[in-house]
Amino acid sequence: MKSKEFIFSHLHRQKRLSEAMETEFDLIVIGGGITGAGILLDAVLRGMNVLLVEKNDFASGTSSKSTKLIHGGLRYLKQFEFGLVRDSGTERAVVHQNACHLVHPERMLLPIVQEGTFGKFSASLAIAFYDRLASVKKEQRKKSLSKAETLKMEPHLNAKALKSGIVYSEYRTDDARLTIEIIKAGIRNSASAFSYMEVEDFSKGESGIHEVICIDKISDSTCVFRARAVVSAAGPWVDEVRKLDSARRQTSLYLTKGVHLVFDRVDFPVNNAIYFDAFDGRMLFAIPRRESVYVGTTDSPYNSDLDEIECSISDAEYILNAVNNYFNIPQLGIEHVKSSWAGLRPLIQQKGKGPTELSRKDEIFYSDSGLISIAGGKLTGYRTMAKRVVDIVNKKLGSSYGECSTKEYKIHEHPFNTYQAYVDWTARICEDYKERFALKDIRELCDNFGKDSLLILDQCISTKKNDLILSQLDYCLEYESVFHPLDFLERRTGWLYFNIEKVRRNFQAVIERLNTHFGWSTELKEKMLFDCQRALKMHSLGGAE
């Protein structure tokens, strides 16, 4: 059961805000994505008093729009990024061990095709090197397949172009849920965090104390927070935050847009995760997830509004053409796209290099005022990025806080010690509750919420309404700081991406329940309705609502 002391709800927001504005923090973190979340947890576990502020919902930027893989980045070997591959490769097992219910082993198939990016010899050598760099266990290392064996695994590959295949190990995750769980872990350890809190300005007194001036986007009021150090982990918005701090105005980031499409598995019947050629120098992933398959990602320069990122028809056609060329299936068109998402990668500028050539390494920037900014990097490396930043903060504060302890820290409040323990527990819960709920719904709950699934299932039974959706919403209202309906429908559950029909059927009921909790004005309720309708249209590429 949840401890009664752990409440992370907007219903208690004003009280928590008042306490935060009266506190002098050791560290304020700007940005509620995976990097900011990692910094929050690392710092608070060392004994620092930490506050995190995020201008929208947690994980609402890049950290809910990745390819949702905890992976080493095989393609970075071609760019000779050996250190990046080694670090992210070894971190895969750490993240998996610390969040078993969110990070799942995934066998990845790399088909070797005529005129493809990888030849049989180069791919075999690269993956063997990859396994070695990442210290992959012997039983999980690559396996070479003949053409016949590859087609047996994936009958819908284009047999004419196929030569052979290689299977190797990666991990699949839910990036938004991982971010939320890390922030919750920070909150359990006495950190503070506020979404919908936008940084508007900075000031610094003679004593060296930073003031971070924010606008509370929920109450439209000004909040001033004080700390001895400030870190910006704002992802694509890092340059914007640095400008607020009067740092040099030239940009340090090169933003690229990445798009993913979601298909019904009936229309795109793949059995395994596949890393395949787009035949233009890029590689794409096709990842099965429950009844869906998602494909991505594109990689194109982006210079428009950072808060309005959409999948265009041309983006979708690029992925559709790649799938149709590579797989022997009935042609997929725009009408087969169930949902989509588009996000930004904050890459570091490198003169003379295009988007696919830029390093995925992170970089730390320092402003004259003392603001520390971090950008770049990969989802997989969030923990080591956080460690480097908090090491710097520790030195800056001149304090003897503890060493980093996140390598073996279990993220969930009630963790699984092994992945097999998670698998066995899920099977038991399915057996216990199968008479009341659909098995696919129980498994989805276990994937999303781990052992907290029991709170949701039992609440649903006790209310006697048998409404599992509203029981999940009630849990997220109390323990996961949900305010906007899309906080729940997109980032806490992933339904806007992977079950958009469920969103269409239920978003109005979600709005009504939230309105009951928060007592919105008529105007705000109408805005929430408009936002949901717009999101449905945008993510379905303008399809039916």
Instruction: Answer yes or no: are the C-beta atoms of 288 and 271 closer than 8 Å.
Output: yes
The DSSP secondary-structure symbol of 492 reads: I
The strand pairing partners of 212, in sequence order, are 202, 225
Nearest to 72 by CA among 146, 10, 140, 17: 140
Rounded CA-CA distance 160/162 in Å is 6
Rounded CA-CA distance 302/289 in Å is 28
Assign residue 447 a region (left: φ > 0; alpha: ψ between -120 and 50; beta: otherwise): alpha
Contact partners, residue 141, CB within 8 Å, separation at least 6? 128, 131, 168, 169
User: Rounded to an integer, what is the distance from CA 223 to the centroid of its chain?
Assistant: 28
Bond preceding residue 62 cis, omega within 30 of 0: no
Instruction: Answer yes or no: are the C-beta atoms of 194 and 20 closer than 8 Å.
Output: yes
Rounded CA-CA distance 338/260 in Å is 11
Instruction: Answer yes or no: are the C-beta atoms of 45 and 69 closer than 8 Å.
Output: no
Q: What are phi and psi of 256, to 5 degrees?
A: -125, 150
Rounded CA-CA distance 40/29 in Å is 7
C-beta contacts of 217-221 below 8 A and 24+ residues apart: 217/55, 217/56, 218/10, 218/13, 218/483, 219/14
Nearest to 388 by CA among 396, 228, 400, 225: 396
Question: Given the structure tokens 């997830």, which residue do they identify?
Answer: 289
Q: What is the CA radius of gyration of the chain?
A: 23
The DSSP secondary-structure symbol of 453 reads: H
Task: Please state whether beta strands 69-70 and 143-145 pair in parallel, antiparallel, or not at all (unpaired).
Answer: unpaired
Per-residue pLDDT of the chain (545 residues), as tens digits, is 454 455 688 888 999 999 999 999 999 999 999 999 999 999 999 999 999 999 999 999 999 999 999 986 666 656 656 666 667 677 888 999 999 999 999 999 999 998 888 887 777 777 777 777 666 677 777 889 999 999 999 999 999 999 999 998 889 999 999 999 999 999 999 999 999 999 999 987 766 788 999 999 999 999 999 999 999 999 999 999 988 876 555 667 889 999 999 999 999 999 999 999 997 878 999 999 999 999 998 989 999 999 889 999 999 999 999 999 999 999 999 999 999 999 998 888 756 555 555 556 788 988 888 899 999 888 999 999 999 999 999 999 987 798 999 999 999 999 999 999 999 999 999 999 999 999 999 999 999 999 999 999 999 999 877 799 999 999 999 999 999 999 999 999 999 999 999 999 999 999 999 999 999 999 999 999 999 999 999 999 854 33
Which uninterrupted H or E stretch holds 34? helix 34-45
Contact partners, residue 143, CB within 8 Å, separation at least 6? 166, 167, 168
pTM for the model: 0.94
Domains of the chain and CATH, by start: 10-62+176-252+359-397 (3.50.50.60), 106-172+254-348 (3.30.9.10), 419-539 (1.10.8.870)
Rounded CA-CA distance 331/228 in Å is 58
Rounded CA-CA distance 386/531 in Å is 33
